[in-house]
Amino acid sequence: MEQRSTPSRKVLRRFFRHRGGVLGALLMFSLIVIAVFAPQVAPFDPLAVSPFDALLPPSTEHWMGTDTLGRDMLSRVIFGSRISLRLGLVSVSIALTIGVIVGSLAGYIGGRVDDVLMRIIDVLLAFPSLILALLAVFALGPGLTNAMIAVGISAIPSYARVTRGEVLSAKENLYVQAAEAVGAPALVIMFRHILPNIIAPNIVIAALGTGTAILAGSALSFLGLGAQAPTPEWGLMLAQGRGFMQLAWWLSFFPGFAIMLTVMSLNLLGDGLRDVLDPRLN
Partner 1 sequence: MHSRFVKVGLLFLAFVMLLGVGATVFAQGEIVYAMNREPDMFDLHTGSSRYDLVVAANVFDTYLYLTEDGEYLPWLADEVTASDDARVYTIKLRSGVTFHDGTPLNAEAVKFNFDRIVDPDTASRAAIGDMGSYEQTEIVDDLTVRVHFSDPHPAFWNALADWRAGGPHSPAALQADADGFKQAPVGTGPFKFVEWVERDHITIEPYEDYNWPYPRAEHEGAARPDRVIFRIIPEDQSRVIALTTGEVNAAMRIPPQSVGELQSNSDVYLNSVVLPGTGVILVVNGSKPPTNDLAVRQALLYATDPQAISRVGYFNAWQAHLGSVLSAPNPSFVDLSGEFPLDLEKAAQLLDEAGWVDSNGDGIRDKDGNEAVLQYIGFPNPETTRVIEFLQATLRPIGMDVQILELDSGAIQKARQAGDHNIAHLTWIFKEGGFLRTLFHSENIGTGWNFTHLADSEVDGLLEAVETEADLSVRGDMLERVQRRMLEQGMVIPTVYQQQINAYRNEVQGIKLYEVYGEAPYFYDAYVEGQ
- Tell me if 11 sits within 8 A of 273, measured CB to CB: no
137 vs 263, beta carbon nearer partner 1 = 137
Nearest to 35 by CA among 70, 81, 2, 69: 81
Residue among 139, 243, 257, 278 that touches partner 1 (CB under 8 A) = 243
Residue among 228, 257, 260, 282 that touches partner 1 (CB under 8 A) = 228
Nearest to 83 by CA among 227, 212, 205: 227
E strands, the chain, in order: none
Helices (runs of H) and strands (runs of E) counted in the chain: 13, 0
Contact call for residue 142 and partner 1 (CB under 8 A): yes
Rounded to the nearest whole angstrom, what is the least distance from the CB of residue 80 to partner 1 in the complex? 15
Contact call for residue 139 and partner 1 (CB under 8 A): no
Rounded to the nearest whole angstrom, what is the least distance from the CB of residue 52 to partner 1 in the complex? 9
Contact call for residue 39 and partner 1 (CB under 8 A): no
Question: Hey, which residues between 18 and 37 contact partner 1 (CB under 8 A)?
Answer: none
Is the Cα torsion angle 162, 167, 170, 172 positive or negative in sign?
negative
The CA angle 49-145-150, to the nearest 5 degrees, is 130
Question: Hey, which residues between 157 and 216 contact partner 1 (CB under 8 A)?
Answer: none
Contact call for residue 43 and partner 1 (CB under 8 A): no
51 vs 183, beta carbon nearer partner 1 = 51
Half-sphere exposure of 212 (CA within 13 A, CB side): 21
C-alpha to C-alpha distance for 69 and 232, rounded to whole angstroms:
13
Question: Hey, which residues between 45 and 74 contact partner 1 (CB under 8 A)?
Answer: 47-49, 51, 54, 68-69
Binding site for partner 1 (CB under 8 A): 47-49, 51, 54, 68-69, 141-143, 224, 228-230, 240, 242-247
